Amino acid sequence: MNILFLGTAAAEGIPTPFCTCPTCTHARKAGGRNVRARTSALVNDDLLIDCGPDLFVAAQRFGVQLDRLETLLVTHAHDDHWQPENLIYRHPDLCPTPLALLRVFGPGPVTRTLRSPRHRDRLEQAALEVTTVRAGQRFRSGRYRITALPANHAGDRAALLYIIDDGARKLFYATDTGPLSERAWRIVARETPFDAVLMDETVGHNRYHQHQGLETFLQDRQRLVDEGWLAEGARFVAFHFSHQSNPPHEDLVDYFAPRGVVVAYDGMEMEI
């Protein structure tokens, strides 16, 4: 299973255009891995997680084609993760390339936008199939078996995490969320072991119940380790960083590397 990080920032991106905080100022000067677009990830070449405002620029930047997409998993309807207008450009009038059916899965607030009159008429020829999923539900799409989990974010039933199993490797994708609920942990326990865990680390040294910070991130990681829920050689990755409370990339690496955590950056590719 190949994972490409198309973006690794929270809603504001890094650097944030209006901000002169130390992290944003450093990112402008240093560039490279310090510059982060809004979060999205491509699994192999046929499954996309989230479809936010930076998707097209990221695809151009990293030489990515999305014509092979079969599955789109949307975590929640916040606009840094979900821009349904992106899918309009699949319409034959705008894309002469023949496209296979794209199956779109997400919680109710996501799928309702595609079924609304505003988008339904414009998307009816964009080769989409839309399915609402709920926490605890298992389903298949293409070569994947997928499990939805409740995120601690955006209110009850409005945001999801996903476990993605291709029959050989298993990925746990966990953003946006605060510390996992006991309901989520029960689902985790029956789906283990994981070959990779990608986990929200939005608020750094701060605390916020709808996102992970450094302390709660490491606590949830330790529970996965203590319970034996990580496969041998599993990768544990931090991403979805806010500029407000996280230091520059290099400092994050210095902090996390001794703790067995990989710090993602835009364009990072990982094979599990």
Q: Assess whether pLDDT exceeds 90 at residue 74.
A: yes
Tell me, what's the pLDDT at 139? 98
What confidence tier does 156 reach under pLDDT thresholds 50, 70, 90?
Answer: low
259 half-sphere exposure, CB direction, 13 A CA radius: 19
Note the pLDDT tens digit of each residue in 167-184.
999 999 999 999 999 999
Could you tell me the pTM of the whole model? 0.96
Domains of the chain: residue spans and CATH: 2-265 (3.60.15.10)
Whose structure tokens read 């070449």? Answer: 45
Residue 115: predicted pLDDT: 86
Contact 1, 272 (CB under 8 A): yes
Q: What is the pLDDT of residue 155?
A: 67
What single string gives the DSSP state of each residue in 57-124? HHHHHTT---TT--EEE--B--TTTB-GGGGGGGSTTT--S----EEEEE-HHHHHHHHSHHHHHHHT
Per-residue pLDDT for 56 more than 70?
yes
Tell me if 203 sits within 8 A of 212, measured CB to CB: yes
On the question of pLDDT at 77 being above 80, the answer is yes
- Report in angstroms the alpha-carbon separations of 153 from 63, 140, 180, 249, 257: 32, 25, 10, 25, 27
